[in-house]
Each structure stands twice: as C-alpha cells, then as structure tokens.
Amino acid sequence: MEKRGTMRQGEAFLTTRAAAETEYIGAVLGKAMRPPLVVALDGDLGTGKTVLVRGAARALGIKEEISSPTFVLLKIYQGRFPLYHFDFYRLDQAEELAELGFDEYLPGEGLAFVEWAGRFREYLPEKRLDITITRFFDYSGEGRRIHLIPHGVQASQVVELLIETITWRVDGTLNMVPLAPE
C-alpha cells in the first residue's frame, strides 16, 4: 500500500548546524562503509556535498585537500580504500562517463561519492546510498537537512550504523566524539 508522507524503512533524516557537523557525519559514514559502495549526493550549490566527502576522506586516512572535482569530473584518492570522487555538475553527455571509465569505478573496488548525481542518476548502480542535503532556515544560515535513502542491504547497514553511532548534546549540537583510528 502506498503511504504518502511517511518515510520508507531504512531512511534517515539528520540536521546539522555547522560545516564541522556535516563533515563529522561524512567521517562516520567513511568509517562505516566497505567497498564497493556508491554514495549519490544531491543538493544545491554550497549545501555541503564536498564537506561530507571531506569527512569521509579523513576517516579513510586521506591527507590531501578535498575539493569539488567540478572541472575534472573525477578525482581518485588512495586511503584505506580507494576513494573515487565524481562531480556531474559540468557533465553534459552520458558518453563522457564512459570516457572517464565510470563503469570501472562504480561500484569498482573502492568507495565512490558522486556530487550532482541526480543529473545522471540512471547511470548509477541501483544498489547505492542516496544523500540529499538541503538548507533549512536558521539564524546562522548554517542549518542543513541531510536525507539518507539506502538502496540495498549494504547501504542500509551503513545508515543503521550511522544512526547508532551519532549522539546529540542537550543543546542540539552534534556530539563529535573522536573516531578511533583503524
């Protein structure tokens, strides 16, 4: 039966109120993920997609600076696992995906994060973790809603682990306990 307005099983909504909190969520995800897994990121310019990937990269022990691969479309980092960071923002044609060797990396042997995934969603594997980030109004301008929708068992387990791991303080800030190194 179709239920409108209710969340599907496995979905999660989080709110963050500072970039550091979104980065922390990314780090927890990075710790929880095992390859191969694809994370499809959506959300307007400047909502925090790259901030989240940066957190995941840190958790994987990647020291390099992480920025949107807007012009190169793909950057590869080597951490505990390979991290493939895609950006579909400037991608115009699906043929360019083949040139990038997209099929090799998705799902491939590493963890893939795809910014602006919605532009070519039909080319992504069905089993993946969809994350949409939206702004919500708060006085600081730093409020973000993070909507996680897992497709498949592996992605669902990652979301479950995330929800089990994170805690909030009474003032509503995220309790960013340092994540144990591997």
Ligand X SMILES: Nc1ncnc2c1ncn2[C@@H]1O[C@H](COP(=O)(O)OP(=O)(O)OP(=O)(O)O)[C@@H](O)[C@H]1O
Q: Which residues bind ligand X (CB under 6 A)?
A: 16-19, 21-22, 43, 45-51, 68, 115, 142, 144
Using N-to-C axis directions, what is the helix angle for 19-32 and 49-59, rounded to 10°? 50
| Residue 132 interacts with which of Mg ion, ligand X, none, CB < 5 to 8 Å by class | none
Residue spans of alpha helices (H) in 60-182 = 94-100, 102-105, 153-165
Of the residues 16, 47, 50, 132, which one makes contact with Mg ion according to CB under 5 A: 50
3-state secondary structure of 150: strand
Exposure string of 11-20, with b = 16+ CB inside 10 Å and e = fewer, is ebebebbbee
Decide: is 22 part of the binding site for Mg ion (CB under 5 A). Answer: no
3-state secondary structure of 103: helix
3-state secondary structure of 166: coil
Least Å distance, CB 89 to Mg ion, is 8
C-beta closer to ligand X: residue 22 or 156: 22
Letters for 56-85 (x = contact with Mg ion by CB under 5 A, - = none) are: ------------x-----------------
Beta strands in the chain (DSSP E): 12-16, 37-42, 74-78, 82-87, 111-115, 128-135, 144-151
Least Å distance, CB 49 to Mg ion, is 5
C-beta closer to ligand X: residue 17 or 147: 17
Decide: is 128 part of the binding site for Mg ion (CB under 5 A). Answer: no
C-beta closer to ligand X: residue 49 or 58: 49
DSSP tag of 80: S
C-beta closer to ligand X: residue 18 or 74: 18
| Residue 51 interacts with which of Mg ion, ligand X, none, CB < 5 to 8 Å by class | ligand X
C-beta closer to ligand X: residue 17 or 127: 17
DSSP tag of 99: H
Residues that bind Mg ion (CB under 5 A): 49-50, 68, 115
